[in-house]
């Protein structure tokens, strides 16, 4: 069986054994089991001390399990987990998620245990995710083995970002963050210590997964650098690949080493390589979520000419500052609006409207004026991308603006990014925009950064396709 097919059994299993399933709602084995109860898959809890959990019959040992289990989620502590894998292999189970820490990251003794897992993975036709893995979460598949609290309510169906993260804490917090403001998650995979499965395996898998349109990695080290880069480059001709690589600096690199027990590569080398191979690098979890969000929601920008629409003059000015600021990402320029566009906007708003871009329709604007001005900008051929500054303070602006903007965006190919703030309702407003299909951000800087990421992506794809074409000729 090829790797893709075997990973499909891991990520979309029919029969799941939970080794160490527990009655307790506090224990990891109890939490994971209850999460999986919502998966509509056949579950086989194993625990010598229990006979039934939540109405499920419990097997006393691994030998009593059926022979066609697809995945064993092992919630036992380190040493017991290794023994369980050995027994499961005898039972013919092909896939494993090992939750426990206490392996390579805690010194010599743990390293020995991890080496045993490595050898098992080498000697047998199995896949091991972890140890020290946060688990997997695929909303569309109803699969969730993540034992820590993660606010998944906003990570609704039809999400298209595959997130592959090495560190547990960063993964959980990014999940929580994303769920506050709306985020379309296709899959979340916690790599943990990578004793067997690693970023390269999941890069291959999600490159070919039809439901994924953007891949994001949080990595502290990249072991098979060459393999990862060339596979990522191939992927990047079709789907954006974003990498948050922690450990840029010398001190950070040695911190990575003590955190995961592995060496982080030299940062300059990594940075140059990522760029060359068409990978978009980000520097923290906020930027990771922001970038993957815009890349999965918008398909690109034909150029870098930005129009800004605002009812709040000051923010229009600030936004222009950010657009014209030098930045290591793609350069942006303020679009020069056509005379026809200016005329249309003035007609739709006020004779004194400042139409030079940023277009400031002032706090006297209404929903209708906003809508018609946006429409004029969408139609302007000199505009590649629009940043809408949506505020609800002006008396003529209502919350209907969300639907108005969403409808305009649905009916157009031109990318539109929204910056909005709404006091304590900001997060909720951004979430509602997300539900309506609009990529929105709560600060000028982040909205403009998202625009750069999008423009950069289009340029990367163009370059990679060009290179590919040259090679073929």
Within positions 101 to 140, which residues make up the interface with a second copy, using CB under 8 A? 101, 106-107
Close Cβ partners of 108 (under 8 Å, ≥ 6 residues apart): none
Q: Which two tokens stand for residue 409?
A: 């965006």
Question: Applying CB under 8 A, which of residues 250, 275, 462, 463 lies at the interface with a second copy?
Answer: 250
Angle 12-15-21 from CA coordinates, rounded to 5°: 110
Restricted to residues 21-50, the positions that interact with a second copy (CB under 8 A) are: none
Residue 252 sits in the site that holds a second copy (CB under 8 A): yes
Q: Which helix (H) or strand (E) holds 337?
A: none
Question: Applying CB under 8 A, which of residues 47, 358, 380, 450 lies at the interface with a second copy?
Answer: 358
Question: Applying CB under 8 A, which of residues 176, 382, 396, 437 lies at the interface with a second copy?
Answer: 176
Residue 305 sits in the site that holds a second copy (CB under 8 A): no
The least CB distance from residue 367 to a second copy, in Å, is 17
Report the residue number, 120 or 335, with the smaller CB distance to a second copy: 335
Restricted to residues 422-461, the positions that interact with a second copy (CB under 8 A) are: 422-424, 426-427, 443-445
The least CB distance from residue 23 to a second copy, in Å, is 18
Report the residue number, 224 or 250, with the smaller CB distance to a second copy: 250
Write phi, then psi, for 192 (nearest 5 degrees).
Answer: 65, -140
Report the residue number, 6 or 77, with the smaller CB distance to a second copy: 77
- By CB atoms closer than 10 A (0-12, 13-18, 19+), residue 207 is buried
Kindly give the residue spans of alpha helices, DSSP state H, lying in 277-366: 285-297, 313-324, 339-348
Torsion of CA 56, 57, 61, 62, to 10 degrees: -60
Report the residue number, 75 or 235, with the smaller CB distance to a second copy: 75
Report the residue number, 163 or 172, with the smaller CB distance to a second copy: 172
Report the residue number, 86 or 321, with the smaller CB distance to a second copy: 321
Question: Applying CB under 8 A, which of residues 216, 247, 278, 415 lies at the interface with a second copy?
Answer: 247
Restricted to residues 405-424, the positions that interact with a second copy (CB under 8 A) are: 421-424
Restricted to residues 211-230, the positions that interact with a second copy (CB under 8 A) are: 218, 220
Report the residue number, 249 or 276, with the smaller CB distance to a second copy: 249
Question: Applying CB under 8 A, which of residues 207, 212, 260, 280 lies at the interface with a second copy?
Answer: 260
Sheet holding 161-165, edge to edge: 143-144, 135-138, 185-190, 161-165, 214-219, 241-245, 280-282
The least CB distance from residue 441 to a second copy, in Å, is 11
Question: Applying CB under 8 A, which of residues 170, 191, 361, 440 lies at the interface with a second copy?
Answer: 170
Matching residue, tokens 């191939």: 234
Q: Which residues of 160-198 are buried (b: 16+ CB within 10 A; e: fewer)?
A: bbbbbbbbbebbbebbebbbbbbbbbbbbbbbbbbbbbb
Residue 61 sits in the site that holds a second copy (CB under 8 A): no
Question: Applying CB under 8 A, which of residues 127, 133, 166, 458 lies at the interface with a second copy?
Answer: 166
Question: Applying CB under 8 A, which of residues 71, 120, 203, 312 lies at the interface with a second copy?
Answer: 312
The least CB distance from residue 342 to a second copy, in Å, is 12
CB atoms within 10 A of CB 382: 14
The least CB distance from residue 123 to a second copy, in Å, is 29
Size of the site for a second copy (CB under 8 A): 72
Q: 131: closest CA among 108, 109, 115, 144?
A: 115
Angle of helix 285-297 versus helix 444-472 axis, rounded to 10: 60
CB atoms within 10 A of CB 27: 15
Q: Quick one: three-class SS letters along 182-213?
A: CCCEEEEEECCCCCCCCHHHHHHHHHHCCCCC
The least CB distance from residue 182 to a second copy, in Å, is 12
- State CA 142 to chain mean position distance: 18
In the shown chain, the binding pattern of residues 267 to 296 toward a second copy, with x for contact by CB under 8 A and - for none, equals ----------------xxxxx---------
The least CB distance from residue 79 to a second copy, in Å, is 16
Name beta bridge partners: 282. Answer: 244
C-alpha gyration radius of the chain: 25
């Amino acid at each position: 069986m090829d790797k893709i097919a075997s990973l499909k059994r891991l990520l979309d299993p029919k029969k799941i054994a939970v080794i160490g399933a527990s009655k307790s709602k506090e224990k990891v084995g109890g939490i994971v089991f209850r999460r999986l109860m919502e998966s509509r898959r056949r579950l086989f809890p194993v625990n010598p001390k229990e006979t039934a959990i939540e109405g499920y019959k419990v097997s006393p040992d691994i030998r009593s399990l059926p022979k066609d289990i697809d995945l064993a989620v092992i919630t036992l502590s380190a040493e017991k987990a290794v023994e369980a894998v050995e027994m499961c292999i005898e039972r013919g189970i092909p896939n494993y998620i090992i939750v426990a820490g206490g392996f390579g990251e805690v010194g010599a003794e743990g390293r020995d245990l991890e080496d045993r897992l490595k050898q098992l993975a080498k000697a047998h036709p199995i896949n091991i995710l972890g140890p020290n893995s946060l688990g997997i979460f695929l909303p569309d598949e109803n699969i969730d083995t993540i034992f820590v609290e993660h606010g998944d309510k906003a990570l609704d169906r039809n999400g298209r970002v595959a997130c592959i993260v090495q560190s547990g804490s960063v993964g959980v917090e990014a999940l929580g963050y994303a769920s506050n403001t709306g985020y379309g998650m296709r899959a979340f995979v916690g790599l943990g210590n990578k004793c067997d499965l690693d970023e390269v395996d999941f890069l291959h898998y999600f490159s070919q997964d039809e439901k994924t349109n953007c891949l994001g990695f949080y990595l502290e080290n990249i072991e098979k650098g060459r393999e990862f880069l060339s596979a990522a480059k191939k992927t990047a001709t079709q789907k954006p690949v974003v990498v948050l690589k922690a450990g840029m600096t010398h001190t950070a690199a040695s911190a990575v080493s003590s955190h995961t027990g592995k060496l982080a590569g030299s940062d300059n080398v990594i940075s140059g390589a990522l760029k060359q191979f068409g990978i978009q690098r980000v520097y923290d979890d906020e930027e990771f979520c922001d970038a993957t969000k815009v890349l999965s929601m918008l398909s690109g920008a034909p150029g870098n000419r930005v129009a800004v629409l605002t009812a709040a003059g000051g923010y229009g000015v600030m936004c222009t500052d950010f657009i014209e600021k030098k930045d290591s990402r793609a350069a942006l320029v303020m679009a020069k609006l056509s005379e026809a566009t200016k005329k249309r906007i003035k007609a739709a708003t006020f004779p004194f409207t400042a139409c030079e871009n940023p277009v400031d329709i002032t706090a006297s604007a209404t929903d209708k004026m906003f809508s018609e001005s946006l429409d004029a900008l969408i139609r302007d051929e000199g505009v590649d991308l629009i940043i809408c500054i949506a505020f609800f303070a002006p008396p003529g602006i209502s919350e209907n603006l969300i639907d108005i903007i969403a409808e305009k965006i649905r009916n157009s190919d031109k990318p539109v990014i929204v910056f909005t703030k709404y006091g304590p309702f900001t997060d909720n407003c951004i979430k509602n925009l997300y539900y309506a299909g609009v990529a929105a951000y709560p600060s000028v800087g982040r909205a403009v950064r998202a625009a750069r990421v999008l423009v950069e992506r289009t340029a990367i794809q163009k370059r990679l396709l060009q290179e590919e074409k040259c090679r073929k000729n």
